[in-house]
Structure 1
Amino acid sequence: MNTEQRVLRLSIGVTFILAAAGIVFGLLSGSFAIVFDGIYALTDATMTIVALLVSNLITSSTASGAVGGRLVKHFTMGFWHLEPMVLGLNGVLLTGAAIYALINAVGSIMAGGRLLAFDYAIIYAGLTMLIAFAMAIYGSRANRELNSSFVGLDAKAWAMSGGLSGALLGAFVFGYAIQGTKLAWMLPYVDPVALALVCLVVIPMPIGTIKQALADILLVTPSDLKRHVDGVAEEIVRRYGFASYRSYVARVGRGRQIELYFIVPRNGPARRLEEWDHIRDEIGDAIGDDTPDRWLTIAFTTDPEWAD
């Protein structure tokens, strides 16, 4: 079976191979667009390594055993907070690289462009497009079971890479075809124009990931989870005759942090601790998603100040 770590390791290996090939073919063909593609892939691979390390930490800390016990001892709040940081940093770096490449492409166009060897460029773009789409399909299928933000972002990055390589392939084929024709004056501009167009497509793509990562870092309350938790809490208040409740909900990467405080009437019926635990179990079952990534705290008090 595929695991998050296995999918990310394969992606890292393939990305490093393509990044090295991109830099080599880019230098051989004289194409800055291909060099950028290689550097972009190298940046993505480096961040995927960081994502893999964070994934290993989260998995190890939520697992039973000696390793998980040692991690929990020193990091009692877990490692979920690292996930949105890595995702956000990844998106910012990729967007920054694309902006830098766009500036260079515009400068090259203003300077008269550059000639390149289209045969090398076509070979690289064609192979990269096929490999990238194959990895995107593999990652998407694996993520149907894994439901991982890291794998999802990685699959999206491969799909983006395949589309961009396809665009470069079209531009290089066009440049190869117009050699020796009346349109040959356009040859120096094929590479920088293709690079500029690719960058314009790439720049906005990670924005959604950056926004979600920022929301997780700032502990913005997810409305759907809040509605679900409030619905469960209201039913418990009605069923057991509690005065009211307070709910606090946040999403931090794959982690779900939920705190529920129920205000119990001061002169309410006495209950044994086992009964309170039974109510907690009932609430936990109603909320669902009982996995190591759910952090659920349920408390009962007669003093509203303890809940506010």
Structure 2
Amino acid sequence: MKTEQGVLRISIAVTILLAGVGILFGILSGSFAIVFDGVYAMTDAAMTVVALLVANLIASSASGAGKGRLVKHFTMGFWHLEPMVLGLNGILLTGAAIYALINAIGSIMAGGRPLDFGQAIIYAVVTLAVTIAMAIAGSRANRTIQSDFVALDAKAWMMSAGLTSALLVAFVIGSLIQGTQYEWLSPYIDPVALALVCLVIIPIPAGTIRQALADILLVTPSDLKSHVDAVARAVVERHGFLSYRAYVARVGRGRQIELYFIVPEDFPAKKLQDWDRIRDEIGLAIGDEGPDRWLTIAFTTDPEWAD
């Protein structure tokens, strides 16, 4: 649980196990809510596998270790794949919840469904313990890792824990009303609980989807643009340049920054080493140097090259 890939591998294994158990228990107990829980987990596991592949590609590309044919075809790196995976993951999870909500409403209108509350409670207790443990472990690990993939994975575990908690409460209530005057409500317990849980979890991936779309569309992050502008203005004033052009984008974990400085035509000639020292100065002022920063700095006397 110390690396992004390690966290995702463990999450995949646990998710697949829970998904299989959930679908089996759902069929045996007659609970569509539990079946949905298993399908939801299986969908999340599939997307986590894709996230792990993308994370490995980004790591190998950024470190320069990847020399395979695929890396040669993506010389600009694989950062652009990260928001695509995050957005698709959020959309699939939201779509699964909407589909389950529609089925729950249809079941309520049809008079509900019978349910074996004993088996359902056993499943809910075990699953709740596992999901809470995974959510806590993922959140703690991401304090150091700082990965969007791990953050989304931890959020998915928290969503699963919330879903399971609601189902557990509903199943316990259903079990308690057996043999009472409220037993006629039993067939509605499962679809009503599922509908309520879906209404809660449907909006949760919205933030991830919105950020992913912003990254895919190369929407300029205002805070990063303001910082780069401040650095560029200081450089222009300090070195006597005419102006600058800054182009900034956030693509997943990657930050792409292009800076063009307009130099006067009569500017004193400098050695290439001197221009490199200015680049180093600018890069140091921008900060966050690392494999996820793509920084291009150019100097020209022709503004058309910068526009």
TM over 0.5: yes
What's the counterpart of residue 203 of structure 2? 204
**Per-residue deviation at 1:64?**
3.3
Q: Would the aligned equivalents of 1:19 and 1:37 in 2 still touch at CA under 8 Å?
A: yes
Matched residues in 2 for 1:9 and 1:231: separation?
41
Summarize the Cα distance change of 1:61–1:71 in structure 2 as closer, same or farther, 3 Å threshold.
Answer: farther
Matched residues in 2 for 1:294 and 1:218: separation?
18
Deviations 1:169-200 (A, max 9, x none): 00000000000111111101000000000110
Q: Would the aligned equivalents of 1:62 and 1:68 in 2 still touch at CA under 8 Å?
A: no
Matched residues in 2 for 1:47 and 1:110: separation?
33
Matched residues in 1 for 2:117 and 2:68: separation?
57
Whether 1:56 aligns to 2:56 is yes
Matched residues in 1 for 2:70 and 2:224: separation?
28
Matched residues in 2 for 1:285 and 1:192: separation?
58
Matched residues in 1 for 2:118 and 2:263: separation?
77
- Specify the SS of the correspondent of 2:219: coil
Matched residues in 1 for 2:30 and 2:112: separation?
11
Whether 1:84 aligns to 2:104 is no
Q: Could you tell me which runs of 5 or more consecutive residues in structure 2 were left unpaired when the two chains were aligned.
A: none
| TM-score normalized by the length of structure 2 | 0.98
Deviations 1:12-59 (A, max 9, x none): 000000000100110111000000000000000000000000001111
Whether 1:302 aligns to 2:290 is no
Matched residues in 2 for 1:74 and 1:199: separation?
41
Matched residues in 2 for 1:11 and 1:302: separation?
53
**Per-residue deviation at 1:74?**
2.6
Matched residues in 1 for 2:71 and 2:192: separation?
52
What pairs up with 1:170-249 in 2 under 5 angstroms? Answer: 170-249=169-248
- Specify the SS of the correspondent of 1:182: coil
What's the counterpart of residue 40 of structure 2? 40
Q: Would the aligned equivalents of 1:248 and 1:260 in 2 still touch at CA under 8 Å?
A: yes
Q: Would the aligned equivalents of 1:257 and 1:295 in 2 still touch at CA under 8 Å?
A: yes
User: How many residue pairs were aligned?
Assistant: 307
- Specify the SS of the correspondent of 2:130: helix
What's the counterpart of residue 144 of structure 1? 143
Letter in 1 for 2:200: V
Deviates more, 1:1-10 or 1:30-39: 1-10
Summarize the Cα distance change of 1:277–1:17 in structure 2 as closer, same or farther, 3 Å threshold.
Answer: same
Q: Would the aligned equivalents of 1:137 and 1:155 in 2 still touch at CA under 8 Å?
A: yes
What's the counterpart of residue 118 of structure 2? 119
Matched residues in 1 for 2:64 and 2:258: separation?
24
**Per-residue deviation at 1:72?**
4.3
Q: Would the aligned equivalents of 1:98 and 1:203 in 2 still touch at CA under 8 Å?
A: yes
- Specify the SS of the correspondent of 1:137: helix
Matched residues in 1 for 2:124 and 2:55: separation?
32
- Specify the SS of the correspondent of 1:119: helix
Summarize the Cα distance change of 1:68–1:138 in structure 2 as closer, same or farther, 3 Å threshold.
Answer: farther
Matched residues in 1 for 2:192 and 2:156: separation?
22
| TM-score normalized by the length of structure 1 | 0.98
What's the counterpart of residue 291 of structure 1? 290
- Specify the SS of the correspondent of 1:300: strand
Deviations 1:243-277 (A, max 9, x none): 00000000000010000000111111211111100
Matched residues in 2 for 1:68 and 1:236: separation?
37
Taking every aligned residue pair, what percent have the same amino acid on both sides?
A: 74
Matched residues in 2 for 1:68 and 1:146: separation?
25
**Per-residue deviation at 1:73?**
2.9
